[in-house]
Homo-oligomer: A and B are copies of this chain.
Amino acid sequence: MDRLRKHIEQITPLTDEEFDYVRTFFTLKKVRKNQYLIHEGDDTKYEYLVLSGIYKVFFVDNAGKEYIVQFAQQNWWMSDYDAFFKEKEATMFIECMDAGEVLYSTLASREKLSADLHKMEHFFRVKLTNGYVALQQRIKLLLSSTPQQRYAEFSKLYPELIERIPKKFIAEYLGVSRETLSRLYAGKS
- Kindly provide the distance from the CB of A88 to the nearest chain B CB, expressed in whole angstroms: 11
Question: A55-83 interface mask toward B, CB cutoff 8 Å, 1 = contact, 0 = none?
Answer: 00001010001010100000000000110
Question: Given A124-B125, A125-B114, A132-B128, does the pair A142, B81 have CB atoms closer than 8 Å?
Answer: no
Residues of B within 8 A of A128 (CB): 125, 128-129, 132
For the complex, what is the distance from the CA of A67 to the CA of B121, rounded to whole Å?
34
For the complex, what is the distance from the CA of A38 to the CA of B149, rounded to whole Å?
26
A131 within 8 A of B: yes
The DSSP consensus for interface residues of chain A is: helix
- What is the total number of residues of chain A having a CB less than 8 Å from a CB of chain B? 31
A144 touches B61 (CB 8 A): yes
- Kindly provide the distance from the CB of A23 to the nearest chain B CB, expressed in whole angstroms: 21
For the complex, what is the distance from the CA of A69 to the CA of B137, rounded to whole Å?
10
Closest to A66 in B: B144
B85 touches A133 (CB 8 A): yes
A168 within 8 A of B: no
A65 touches B144 (CB 8 A): yes
A122 within 8 A of B: yes
Contact of A143 among B81, B131, B142 (CB under 8 A): B142
A136 within 8 A of B: yes
- Kindly provide the distance from the CB of A30 to the nearest chain B CB, expressed in whole angstroms: 27
For the complex, what is the distance from the CA of A68 to the CA of B136, rounded to whole Å?
11
Q: Which residues of A contact B (CB under 8 A)?
A: 59, 61, 65, 67, 69, 81-82, 85-86, 114-115, 118, 121-122, 124-125, 128-129, 131-133, 135-140, 142-144, 175
